[in-house]
Amino acid sequence: MTPPALLVERLAYAYPDGHQALFGVNLRVEHGERVAVLGPNGAGKTTLVLHLNGVLTGQGNVEVAGLPVEKATLKEVRRRVGIVFQDPDDQLFMPTVREDVSFGPANFGLRGTDLAARVKRALDDVGMADHADRSPMHLSGGQRRRVALATVLACDPDILVLDEPSANLEPRARRELAEVLLGLDRTTLMVTHDLPYALQLCPRSVVIDDGVIVADGPTRELLADADLLARHRLELPFGFRLD
Ligand SMILES: Nc1ncnc2c1ncn2[C@@H]1O[C@H](COP(=O)(O)OP(=O)(O)OP(=O)(O)O)[C@@H](O)[C@H]1O
Ligand SMILES: [Mg+2]
């Protein structure tokens, strides 16, 4: 039996100040699935995401395609799992956009024209090719978010994890990003407060609240469950109709 793309078992985590953010999360994502992670502010979504490539290490078990996430496997895990962080400032640290987007693939051994082509493709995908020689520090919030996404796309990871990818994006960039993601055919975990985006991109969603998964099912069914949404502070935008 092939192991799933992602397996999280009984994951619990308390931050160093003692705040317990996860209380036993179980999640299994098959290869090629796109799953949205929904839940209110402070639910533990980002904390969960940060365990998927070993930025944080809690109690329990996290496996990527059968490989346990632990110190000895971190390099391989990070090749397989690309995370676009909630805050792009955590992702961008080089003097130019091009150098930031080159950093990951160069680190994985790509050089010369292969590297340049990979970087160009990633910047094209997010519509930032014209800004390659600018400083990420001088970009707008939405532009920084797009470059942060390009840094991960350029690494061509097996599993793409996106923490709030549509936040700060103009509607057109949000739609273009959806097209890029739909075109990728990649195992994807997407944290979002943007419920229509979850519906458009992810056939399956999980709802996390107070550090546990409280619902897991087809996105359309979860979003049609008004009681579930209300219990977990989830709201569809004004005027949005599920039909
Ligand atoms: N560095 C930290 N130290 C202590 N507690 C933290 C830290 N980071 C987050 N927390 C707490 O852990 C809980 C989960 O936070 P987390 O960032 O995972 O939430 P989230 O679901 O991603 O929320 P949001 O929708 O606002 O991004 C929250 O109660 C938060 O206050
Ligand atoms: Mg978060």
Q: What is the CATH number of the domain that holds 127?
A: 3.40.50.300
| Any domain includes 241 | no
Q: Please give the distance, rounded to the nearest whole angstrom, from the Cα atom of residue 43 to the centre of ligand 2.
A: 8
* Mutational pocket test of ligand 1: of 47, 87, 208, 232, the residue with most ligand atoms within 8 Å of the beta carbon: 47
Q: In terms of residue numbers, what domain contains 31?
A: 6-231
Nearest ligand to residue 234 Cα: 1
Q: For residue 170, is it within any domain?
A: yes
Check residue 180 and give its pLDDT. 87
Say if residue 206 is exposed, middle or buried (CB neighbours under 10 Å; 0-12, 13-18, 19+): buried
Ligand 1 centroid distance, CA of 20 (Å): 9
Distance CA 158, CA 220 (A): 26
Residue 167: inside a domain:
yes
Q: What confidence score (pLDDT) does residue 183 get?
A: 87
Is residue 39, in this structure, part of any structural domain at all?
yes
Say if 240 falls within a structural domain.
Answer: no
Q: Which class for 37: exposed (0-12), middle (13-18), buried (19 or more C-beta within 10 A)?
A: buried
Phi, psi of 113 (to 5 degrees): -70, -30
Residue with CA closest to ligand 1 atom 14: 44
Read off the pTM: 0.95
In order along its 243 residues, the chain shows pLDDT tens digits of 899 999 999 999 999 999 999 999 999 999 999 999 999 999 999 999 999 999 999 999 999 999 999 999 999 999 999 999 999 999 999 999 999 999 999 998 999 999 999 999 999 999 999 999 999 999 998 899 999 999 999 999 999 999 999 988 899 989 988 988 898 889 999 999 999 999 999 999 999 999 999 999 999 999 999 999 999 999 999 999 887
pLDDT of residue 173: 87
Quote the pLDDT of residue 29: 98
Helices (H), the chain: 45-49, 74-80, 97-107, 112-125, 141-153, 171-184, 195-201, 219-223, 226-231
State the pLDDT at residue 243. Answer: 78
What's residue 94's pLDDT? 97
- Cβ–ligand 1 distance for 46 under 6 Å, the answer yes
Q: What is the pLDDT of residue 168?
A: 86
Confirm whether 88 is domain-assigned.
yes
Q: Is residue 1 part of a domain?
A: no
What radius of gyration, in Å, describes the C-alpha atoms of the chain? 18
9's CB contacts (< 8 A; 6+ apart) are 26, 60, 61, 62
Tally of domains in the chain: 1
Ligand 2 ion local residues (Cβ < 5 A):
45-46, 86
239: in domain: no
Please work out whether the CB of residue 44 comes within 6 Å of at least one atom of ligand 1: yes
